[in-house]
Amino acid sequence: MDIHKVKPAPGRPRSQQAMEAVLTAVRQLLQTTAYKELTMEGIAKAAGVGKPTLYRWWPNIASIVMDVMRQQAHHDVGVPDTGSLESDLLLYIGDTCRSLTQGAGGIMRSLMAEAQFDDGFAQIFRESFISSRRAMLIALLQRGAARGELQKDADLELLADLCYGPIWYRLLNGHASLDEPFVQAITAHIIMRG
């Protein structure tokens, strides 16, 4: 236990409230407004926060929204480990598609779009979402490969692309749905090919 008091920083303390108010406000705004309608001005007003405060913590809207998404990201899609690659894939891809279909899809599309315009954001987005998800999938595949459920020389990176590619492609273009047959087809495809 620490008897010494923490020397308080001089000046007005940082408002913990402010940060959370922002995230909460954005979460609510996103339920009635499209991502593209969000403005720094609007968020500041909705959160009861000054614009400079916003800029002190986040460089742009995409970053705020990404923090919001991150808050609830891991709730949606876990990494199964059933002992069978096929079951694992069915669960993992299924969860992913369900999450995207049930509301997260719209925002993810927006963030992916934003990443095409803003390099700084792109980097964070890819690290936070894309790469982290890819890593999970690849770990899952690796377990399968170790069990001999894939060919020894299977290119797991490519398999990940063959999994996530069609998902994003359908999500972004909306020409077909991310339904159960799709999940099964993708899974079957990976198993057979790998």
Partner DNA sequence: TCGTAAACGAGACGGTACGTCACGTCTTTCG
Partner DNA sequence: CGAAAGACGTGACGTACCGTCTCGTTTACGA
Residues with Cβ within 8 Å of 120's Cβ and at least 6 positions away in sequence, in order, are 59
CA-based nearest residue to 32, from 46, 22, 44, 21: 46
Residues with Cβ within 8 Å of 162's Cβ and at least 6 positions away in sequence, in order, are 186, 189, 190, 193
Within residues 14-43, the interface with a copy of itself by CB under 8 A covers: 34-36
Separation CA 100–CA 168 (nearest Å): 10
Beta-carbon count within 10 A of 61 CB:
21
Q: Least Å distance between CB 91 and a copy of itself? A: 20
Angle at 72 between CA 66 and CA 77, to 5 degrees: 110
135 touches a copy of itself (CB under 8 A): no
Stretch binding a copy of itself (CB under 8 A), from 58-66, 69-77, 79-87, 113-121:
113-121
Is the CB of 37 or the CB of 161 nearer to DNA? Answer: 37
Q: Least Å distance between CB 102 and DNA? A: 28
Alpha carbon 139 to its chain's center: 17
Beta-carbon count within 10 A of 139 CB:
13
Q: Least Å distance between CB 2 and a copy of itself? A: 29
Is the CB of 39 or the CB of 151 nearer to DNA? Answer: 39
Stretch binding a copy of itself (CB under 8 A), from 21-29, 63-71, 75-83, 173-181:
173-181
Name which of a copy of itself, DNA, none residue 155 binds, using a CB cut-off of 5 to 8 Å depending on partner kind. Answer: a copy of itself
In the chain, % helix, strand, coil (3-state, to 5) comes to: 75, 0, 25
Residues that bind DNA (CB under 7 A): 7-15, 17-19, 21, 39-42, 44, 48-53, 55-57, 60-61
Q: Least Å distance between CB 34 and DNA? A: 12
Name which of DNA, a copy of itself, none residue 170 binds, using a CB cut-off of 5 to 8 Å depending on partner kind. Answer: a copy of itself
Q: Least Å distance between CB 32 and DNA? A: 14
